[in-house]
A and B are shown apart, each in its own frame.
Chain A
Amino acid sequence: MAVSDQNLTNEIQLHLLEPPNNGASYQSLLYTTAEVAARLNYRANLFNLLTNSFVNFTELPATNNSKIQNLVNNFMDIIDVNYSATGTLAGGGLYYSIPAGSSLEGDEFITVQTAVTLPSLYTIDSSQVLTINFFPAPTFTDSNGQMMVFYTPTIGVFPAVPNGTTFQSGFPDDLTPFIKYGVLADLFNKSGETHDPLRGSICEGLFNLGIELARSWISGSVFEPVAVQQPFIAPING
């Protein structure tokens, strides 16, 4: 069973004392469907940005003789970069892992930054949004320059009116309640009649609990060189 935007907005309506109708409308007129959808997208993306729960990897064509390398438009955060000057993986290209670095390091230690076959590092500190910079710029023949990029994508792609859109395949149902509480935290922290700082802080605490838990599981197996371990659970205060 995949949790959809209608499932979550239905539960949100119950918390808000609204008649549940899969998020189609809010009888009190204190909320709008578009507003709730926007909060759902925001909190889903924030959750993913803070946890790296959902990760994409893709091959992208590199730009010849240029430090600036374009990424994809659903990119949020970079995890790993590999570069091939000899074509795609399917075509037998040989990829090299490119370490992360900074422009300062590049400028200090790569004294001749003429184009090379293999870049020494990639940086994000001086790159435009949705790009990374290679130091030095790579050169290649034909269209053989390729990048294999691991990145955290946006996962909030829910429409303004809930229509049964589910989270992306591979994002587990068990993490969705925490995103719901993130949405509720935003709604309880609105100004005016709906303002409820107590419930807002409890819901924010639940959202943060989900972040800590997801990070515990994922960091244990992926991003830190330690074996998988049970998550530590911090106390929560209302």
Chain B
Amino acid sequence: MPTYATTTRATLRSRIQERLISTFWTNTEINAYINEALRVWNVCTGYNKNTYTNNFAANTFGYSISAAGTNAMFVLRVENAAFRHLDPITIKELGNLDPNWVSNTSTSPTNWMQVGVNSLFIYPTPSTLQTGLTTYTIDTFQVPTQDSDFIQIGEEDLQYIVDYCVFIARLKEGGKEAQESVTLLQGFLLQAAKYNSKILQTSLYKRVMGTFSTQTRNPKLEHQTVR
């Protein structure tokens, strides 16, 4: 899988320091800001997507989210070894559709359900070992640990990571600097909204089916280039 290999942590930190009075913030501190910015960006956009192939043990009611993937945070979809998808479902739906869902088992599960961020359920509970299930996930962001590590975000978005770090740095200063830096945070969030709007605009069938139930009460930014 290709990875970004353009900007190291050291380079990114120097970009941030160029915008600050560099002596007021240590390298360690700015590294922490970088980690935070990457994590917040990931939660805002679901940027760090991944795919795993797993085996799910038989007769297990509920798996740790790590069963979906080592660093998995949110599950997006699940498919079996025959490339057939399992449908997502919710506790409420299961309770209504199958009152005995906790006890029921099957050799061929049909649904998956994430409960909170920490648990994954396969329904009905598999009575045999399920091999070769592929999970598509959003992982926690693997933050850089060395100055030579490359930042796994595209250059087109990296400027907003710098902005977020400058915002956090100025928040430490307080007063007018902190107040004025809020515009940097707003720019960061706007860029995240643009990223999300592109994904939403390309989800043609989801729009046609009307599954964006919250869209009307939470209007999203229309992406400019994807129609």
Within B100-151, which residues are at the interface with A (CB < 8 Å)? 100-103, 113-119, 138, 140-141, 143, 145
Contact of A53 among B40, B116, B172 (CB under 8 A): B116
| Residue A80 is within 8 A (CB to CB) of chain B in the complex | yes
* Chain A count of residues within 8 A CB distance of the other chain: 66
CA distance A229 to B102 in the complex (A): 27
B56-109 residues with Cβ-Cβ distance < 8 A to A are 61-62, 64-66, 73-77, 88, 90-96, 98-103
Instruction: Give a binary string over A197-238; 1 marks a CB under 8 Å from any B CB, 0 the rest.
Output: 011001100000110011001110111111111111111111
In the assembled complex, the Cα of A226 lies from the Cα of B88 at a distance in Å of: 9
- Asked if B2 lies at the interface with its beta carbon under 8 angstroms from chain A, I say no
B218 on interface, CB distance cutoff 8 Å: yes
**A93-B95 in contact (CB<8A):** no
For chain B, what secondary structure do more than half of its interface residues adopt (helix, strand, loop), or is it mixed?
mixed
Residue A158 at the B interface, CB < 8 A?
A: no
**Interface residue? A15 (CB, 8 A):** yes
Q: B40–A221 contact, CB under 8 A?
A: no
Is the CB of A97 closer than 8 A to any CB of chain B? yes
Contact A229 B212 (CB under 8 A): yes
B182 contacts A236, C-beta separation under 8 Å: yes
Q: How far is the CA of A174 from the CA of B88 in the complex (A)?
A: 23
A224 contacts B74, CB within 8 Å?
Answer: no
Whether A228 pairs with B76 at a CB distance below 8 angstroms is yes
- List the A side residues contacting B77 at CB < 8 Å: 228
Residue among B29, B39, B200 with the highest chain A CB neighbour number at 10 A: B39
In the bound complex, how far is the Cα of B61 from the Cα of A93, in angstroms? 13
Which residues from A are CB-within-8-Å of B214?
Answer: 219, 224, 226, 229, 232
Say yes or no: is B153 at the interface (Cβ < 8 Å to chain A).
Answer: no
Q: What separation, in Å, do the CA atoms of A224 and B99 have in the docked complex?
A: 18
Instruction: Count B interface residues, CB 8 Å.
Output: 70
CA distance A174 to B44 in the complex (A): 10
* Known A89-B61, A198-B179, A232-B214; contact A171-B118, beta-carbon cutoff 8 A: yes
Q: How far is the CA of A57 from the CA of B101 in the complex (A)?
A: 14
Is A54's CB under 8 angstroms from B116's CB? yes
Taking a contact as CB atoms under 8 Å apart, the answer to whether A80 and B113 are in contact is: no
- Tell me the residues in window 87-125 of chain A with beta carbons closer than 8 Å to chain B beta carbons: 89, 93-97, 99
Q: Which of A47-99 contact B (CB under 8 A)?
A: 52-55, 57, 79-80, 82, 84, 89, 93-97, 99
- Selecting from B4-12, B14-22, B184-192, the interface stretch reads B184-192
Q: Could you tell me the distance between the alpha carbons of A57 and B121 in the complex, rounded to whole angstroms?
A: 11
9 of the cross-chain contacts (CB-CB < 8 Å) are: A150-B115, A169-B64, A176-B39, A177-B36, A198-B178, A213-B43, A218-B116, A230-B199, A238-B182
Given contacts A170-B116, A222-B114, 17 further A-B contacts (CB under 8 A): A53-B116, A53-B117, A80-B92, A80-B95, A95-B101, A96-B100, A97-B95, A170-B118, A177-B40, A178-B40, A198-B178, A213-B44, A218-B114, A221-B88, A221-B113, A228-B76, A230-B46
The chain B residues found within 8 Å of chain A, CB to CB, are 29, 32, 36, 39-40, 42-46, 61-62, 64-66, 73-77, 88, 90-96, 98-103, 113-119, 138, 140-141, 143, 145, 171-172, 174-175, 178-179, 182, 185-186, 189, 192-193, 196, 199-200, 206, 211-215, 218-220
> Which are the 6 A-B pairs with shortest beta-carbon distances?
A170-B118, A55-B116, A238-B182, A97-B95, A230-B196, A95-B102
